[in-house]
Structure 1
């Protein structure tokens, strides 16, 4: 599919559904229950897997909750944590941007945003990596992630905090505990994993183009411009998780059956010459965040994190260059959903810790207020029993 076909697929909700319960592969029984695909493509009661009024209800709750984040405080907290990470390996002359910087930094930011205890940060990051990487144990990882999020929701229902979880519970949309947990999973996957890819993609772009690197270093190009260009060159999420045909039809010259899955490749659409050559390369007409009513709702938070992360690296590291392997030889996860290399080694001149740098960033910076505890009929619906697979439970009436 080209750029225009992807736009039509995403925008035409009368022809294409986001509800995975329509998937004929499942109805026909040809996909195993433990398939790694279900961790991403299986149905869940969340904004990315619903249509029409149900989708609008979830979308409003998630969007308004994300709008409550103080982005200035978020940037400040991310910058402090980024400085701590750089100081940890700055004298070593080499580092891995993915494993030693982008992944721990983004995990920290989203852990604080959803109110997850610090002790859970690495484990949840590993679970998300397994799901995004399409590993053989993605089903187990998804089930464990959901158990963790259900526990978090139950705790925040009793004691609200300054976090997305508490605000989703308090929202007037009256989401159930299960709905809050699954929307948190959607935020972590679409926002967190894509931000890791965005940071590494921007650094790959800058290290591979001396002219651009110099322009950012000297202030002739902003980090924002470089980050947007990186989204044209390589989407952090190469493919979004799909749409299902509502009826038999012909699309992009192909016959499509009702219930067929179509996966829009955002990375390919962004290289479509019909649109790419007509756009200012720094513009935001790319599809890296999706588009339409199902576009990524966490892109403002992701931008704040990614741009701050790249800015710290560009300010702190001098003579930064690819490490012990060429960027063209990087190993990539065998996954449809991840545009992040396994590693991104870099080399640079040794640096000393930043003056007056803290030994560690604050464990729980305050990024939003604390909502009042919600008191209504649906609030007491459950501290839900953890579900192993949202899809299979939905078939029996979620």
Structure 2
């Protein structure tokens, strides 16, 4: 594993980011059933402390959470904040152990998610170039095909849990297709990826299992390349190493599937329960796009994420002259997409309404999500197909009985039980998937937040070519051993 960059200066006296000895929680927990049931209550308390405040992500894991919209944009764009998690002082000093359940989400990996500068541009360019070859028409066809397969499994029963039986499975099935994964790997990848995001005690093993699956996939694609994201990344001029390949794919499948799962489930819930949307459905107009936008504003699928580290102590202010909060160097700084998007200061100038895409659900700055368009195709098509095949669907429990998964990073339902008139026959014959034709689209994904120049020019540097067989010991590497 690579070593942390450079020596770290001695901590300032009394700085809470550098506490030694016994652990004292620095802030309210962002985990457990109480937080999951009402995170807005915690965000309101944190806002009273300024644009950022201390929180606990897991027992013994302190971080600073940015709850202000304007301050979040500063962190996402300011050169004093970097993504390199090797700066994490508490982990380097052993106060956070490598087996902590948040490590699979926060620990440094050789991927674009943890890179800065030229290295980030090189890795990001490989991803954006590969994604540009995905034909949205063909992608929609595969989503429809997968959706019909899943719906067919419960359509004749008259009831379903749309989380475990549909939203959890559909994006992962689509991404394994985009990766060109053989059937023998699909179920293993789906199970492993789902286990990483909850930050439970099994997250370490789930992360190692996913990396091992992707290592096997890379070996297959080196021998038998195809028209898929894995093969395109392998053939890219960036010349990614096998280690870089694995972690690029981890980012793609994790960031592309887990938030999309939550997006599908939450938007479907709104369509079934919120009069602003449910009332329209009965009249034949289903504002799926409006519901999806509403979720990105008010139920951000990745509620707290986008880790950064200050390279020097930094006073974070929402605007000049406003009270500031000291951000110590080398501690995790998270963006609360959920709190920033519901920041009370947004009332008026930034009205959360259909057509306004200035939310931070896709992040902003150099690390803005490169897969917005594919994610939108997957979520929109998934809900359209569901409502098309099961138009008389209703929620099977009162909306107040719905619960949310615990964990600091995402906001997603534990279940979405529905009922509908059981179908007498299979729905498979209604599928119209078209052909899988991956080509370069004519336009690039649009950035949703206020504009900021982002360079994606292809660098001249490159990584080593050829397999390195790094996956043979990747499970140990993943755990920091």
Deviations 1:189-216 (A, max 9, x none): 1111011001001011111213312324
The match for 2:202 among 116, 137, 141 is 137
Rounded Cα–Cα distance in structure 2 between residues aligned with 1:164 and 1:86: 27
Unaligned runs of 5+ in 1: 370-375
Rounded Cα–Cα distance in structure 2 between residues aligned with 1:260 and 1:356: 51
Structure 1 pair 383/276, CA: closer, same or farther in 2 (3 Å)?
farther
| Correspondence 1:341 to 2:424 | no
Structure 1 pair 341/188, CA: closer, same or farther in 2 (3 Å)?
same
Structure 1 residues 302-341: aligned runs within 5 Å: 302-323=375-396, 325-341=397-413
Paired residues of 2:390 and 2:420 also in contact (CA < 8 A): yes
Rounded Cα–Cα distance in structure 1 between residues aligned with 2:84 and 2:262: 26
Cα offset, 1:256, TM superposition: 2.0
Higher relative contact order (CA 8 A, sep 6+): 1
| Correspondence 1:351 to 2:423 | yes
Structure 1 residues 273-312: aligned runs within 5 Å: 273-277=344-348, 278-282=350-354, 283-312=356-385
| Correspondence 1:6 to 2:78 | no
Q: Residue 46 of structure 1 aligns with which residue?
A: 111
Cα offset, 1:368, TM superposition: 2.6
Structure 1 pair 302/367, CA: closer, same or farther in 2 (3 Å)?
farther
Rounded Cα–Cα distance in structure 1 between residues aligned with 2:394 and 2:463: 58
Paired residues of 2:242 and 2:469 also in contact (CA < 8 A): yes
Q: What is the TM-score when the length of structure 1 is the normalising length?
A: 0.90
| Alignment size in residue pairs | 385
Looking at CA atoms only, which structure, 1 or 2, has the larger radius of gyration?
Answer: 2
Structure 1 pair 355/386, CA: closer, same or farther in 2 (3 Å)?
same
Paired residues of 1:242 and 1:264 also in contact (CA < 8 A): yes
Rounded Cα–Cα distance in structure 2 between residues aligned with 1:147 and 1:241: 25
Q: Residue 388 of structure 1 aligns with which residue?
A: 475
Rounded Cα–Cα distance in structure 1 between residues aligned with 2:255 and 2:427: 35
Rounded Cα–Cα distance in structure 2 between residues aligned with 1:365 and 1:335: 39
Q: Residue 373 of structure 1 aligns with which residue?
A: none
Q: What is the TM-score when the length of structure 2 is the normalising length?
A: 0.75
The match for 2:300 among 209, 217, 235 is 235
Structure showing the higher helix proportion among its residues: 1
| Correspondence 1:378 to 2:448 | no
The match for 1:123 among 177, 184, 188 is 188
The match for 1:366 among 419, 428, 436 is 436
Cα offset, 1:240, TM superposition: 1.3
Paired residues of 2:69 and 2:340 also in contact (CA < 8 A): yes
Paired residues of 1:177 and 1:383 also in contact (CA < 8 A): yes
Unaligned runs of 5+ in 2: 1-66, 318-323, 440-461
Rounded Cα–Cα distance in structure 2 between residues aligned with 1:42 and 1:361: 42
